[in-house]
Amino acid sequence: MVEKTRLDAAFLASESAPEDDAARLAFFEQLAASELFLLLEGEAEGDKVTPQTFEMQNETFVLVFDLETRLTALAQGPAPYAALSGRALAAMLAPQRLGIALNIDVAPSSSFILAEEVAWLNDMLSHAPQELRQSVEKMFSPKGLPEALLTALDARLASATGLAHSAYLVGVAYDSGAQGHLIGFIDALPGAEPALAQAISEVLTFSGLEAAALDVAFFAASDGVTPRLARHGLRFDLPQPAPAHMPETPGMNPDKPPKLR
């Protein structure tokens, strides 16, 4: 039985509703959030990689998979690869005008993503979240948010293993008189704040909402505000990893995508 991944599900949903822009955006959001495996010509040399490429209809494509087993299935055995996030892959490929051959012949999500689509994805991912400069005066239960946004938030936070203990989504009123929604992360891993803020920004971008529709803040479990978040908020529990030391592989840091040789 072929294992069905989140990327497969997002792709099939977009294919079943070709006129649904939200479904297509959700596929690209999942692609950006996924860990991907890029087939290489040879072993990586430091942060430099040489992907296998092929030409089709005047386009150049690299071979990319969302499971290592799918890469080895196409390669018919072990093969060199770089593991990297979708957003790091887009940052690497866009300047080179390269497209993505995704899971070709080995998965339900088998498809071709053209170079112009990769460039568009990279542009979408380049929007950085803005720093919040208002003080929260009141908190209340979240209301009026699209169900699709809540589903996308749940899926993205389910993939943020170990970056924080949990998160709460609440409605807020600021000292400026403005009202909105805020997601507060509890006990974020030191240094993970930018990645978590970027993840929320990307969910909003691909949901078609303005980035200002959902603010992000970080708290310790011991902070006085945390019980208020728990009282009014919708809770998301982030998966926690088993203790392990994993060396950094090319592309795993989205701010340092691998370089093409």
| CATH number for position 62 | 3.40.1350.90
Which domain, by its residues, includes 156? 136-237
The CATH number of whichever domain residue 170 belongs to comes to: 3.30.70
3-class secondary-structure state, position 145: coil
Q: Are residues 99 and 53 in the same domain?
A: yes
Average per-residue pLDDT for the chain: 87
Rg (CA), the chain: 20
Of 106, 126, 146, the residue that ends a domain is 126
Same domain, 17 and 122: yes
Q: Which of 42-46, 71-75, 244-248 comes out lowest in average pLDDT?
A: 244-248
Q: Do 227 and 120 share a structural domain?
A: no
- Answer with the one of 92, 126, 160 that is the final residue of a domain: 126
Residues 6+ apart with CB under 8 A from 17: 23
Would residue 1 count as lying in a domain?
A: no
162, 100: one domain: no
Query: What total number of domains does the chain contain?
Result: 2
Higher pLDDT, 130 or 141: 141
Beta strands at 111-113 and 99-102: parallel, antiparallel or unpaired: antiparallel
**Rounded Cα–Cα distance for residues 178 and 243 (Å):** 42
Pull the structure tokens for residue 92.
């690497």
The alpha carbon dihedral of 68, 72, 77, 80 has a sign of negative
Q: Roughly what angle, to the nearest 10 degrees, separates helices 86-93 and 21-33?
A: 90
- Domain shared by 26 and 116, yes or no: yes
Note whether 222 and 156 are same-domain residues.
yes
pTM flag (> 0.85)? no
Residue 19, pLDDT score: 85
Q: Sorting pLDDT into bands at 50, 70 and 90, what band is 1? A: very low
pLDDT digits (tens, 9 = 90+) for 75-123: 999 999 999 999 999 999 999 999 999 999 999 999 999 999 999 999 9
Within this chain, do residues 21 and 119 fall inside the same structural domain, yes or no? yes
Residue 227 burial by CB count (10 A; 0-12/13-18/19+): exposed, middle or buried?
exposed
Domain closes at, from 94, 126, 158: 126
| Residue-wise burial string across 117-156, b where 16 or more C-beta atoms lie within 10 A, e elsewhere | bbbebbebbeeebeeeeeebeebeebeebeeebeebbebb
Co-location of 215 and 147 in the same domain = yes
